[in-house]
Amino acid sequence: MENLSQAPTLPISSRAYAKIILFGEHAVVHGQPAIAVPLQALSAHVTAEASPKGSGLSISLPHSPELIYLHSDNPSVGQTLRHTAKLTLERLAIPEPDLKLSLHSNIPMGAGFGSGAAVSTALVRALCAAIQAPLTNETLNALIYDIEKLYHGTPSGIDNTVIVYEQPVFFIREKPIESFKIHTPFNLLIARVDYATPTYITVGDVRTLYESQPQQTRQIFDQIGAIVHQARHAIETGSIPSLGPLMNQNHALLRQLTVSDENLDRLCDAALQAGAWGAKLSGGGRGGNMLILLPEEPALRPKIENALLQAGASEVFFTSIN
Ligand code: PMV
């Protein structure tokens, strides 16, 4: 007879993809919609393996010989991961298991790819699979959002939603999650710069701007919201070239919100001059990364890549949104 309560075969691995915001960052914190998609080129993986009886739960990080124990007295190392594991066990009302969770991730941290949410998601998935306590996406999403809130001030929840559901989302804060279809795949370059500003700082600065100039700032949020609706329509109907001007307009409004900087502006200009259909910053801004919509002519891609590197991008990579 099949033993249904049999423990799963360990080791067991779980994965979570990175995300990228296409349109609507910052305004989304203030109730407007935003569009984000999973980025399959970047992902976090966590492997759970059995540990000796009584050893408790430990987490190993890449390139670090030190294990993070759930009940360690060193609060500075791996605090987020330890907290994620603790909160998961608390919510499930499950005692600490004897497990080792090993993390691997190629998602750059603090670069607007949702590294924190992806790592937490992969960790919770691996832990739950190992202790046979499957979570629904809804419960997992709420848990990851609570963890995001502890470390990122007042996040809108877009990162955890795209990462947990692994689908393109049209996201409005505190509204039911809406996914949508991508009619025709389109190609982007993602250009990174070698510095970033923590998202809670730019989000805080936008909030201060809103408090000091409520009317003008509200208008900017509304205009971004209108762009997001048009972008969704363009993506759903395969009207890809029209995404270019929408990206440029969205970038100009983000500049008005003070979250761009001269380097990101220079990269946008360079990409457009080299033939890109559109360009904008993505995520928190003032560093991090930006998106460039590639035109149909494949010959223009290396030209645009070169222009971005010449203009100061530290890395440029290609991704297809489909
Ligand atoms: O920096 P990222 O990619 O995590 O994006 C932040 C997006 C904001 O809209 C600026 C903040 C948020 O919580 O939605």
Element (H, E) at 253: helix 243-256
Report pLDDT for 4: 44
Atom number, ligand 1, closest to the C-alpha of residue 148: 13
Residue 74 has pLDDT above 70, yes or no: no
Residue 305 Cβ contacting ligand 1 at under 6 Å: no
Report pLDDT for 3: 43
> 101 — phi, psi (to 5°)?
-110, 120
Atom number, ligand 1, closest to the C-alpha of residue 21: 3
Report pLDDT for 1: 39
Model pTM score: 0.88
Query: Which of 60-64, 119-123, 126-130, 296-300 has the least mean pLDDT?
Result: 60-64
As a whole number of angstroms, the distance between CA 283 and CA 253 comes to 14
Centroid of ligand 1 to alpha carbon of 47 (angstroms): 28
Share of the chain above pLDDT 90, in %: 83
Residue 149 has pLDDT above 60, yes or no: yes
Residue 26 Cβ contacting ligand 1 at under 6 Å: yes
Residue 199 Cβ contacting ligand 1 at under 6 Å: yes
pLDDT in tens, 87-131: 999 999 999 999 999 999 999 887 889 999 999 999 999 999 999
Residues forming the active site = 159
Cβ proximity of 194 and 209 under 8 Å? no
> 43 — phi, psi (to 5°)?
-155, 160
Residue 285 Cβ contacting ligand 1 at under 6 Å: no
Report pLDDT for 76: 64
> 293 — phi, psi (to 5°)?
-85, 120
As a whole number of angstroms, the distance between CA 205 and CA 196 comes to 15
Centroid of ligand 1 to alpha carbon of 284 (angstroms): 5
Top-confidence residue, 230 or 5: 230
Residue 284 Cβ contacting ligand 1 at under 6 Å: yes
Please report, to the nearest 10 degrees, the dihedral formed by the alpha carbons of residues 18, 21, 26, 31 taken in order. Answer: -100
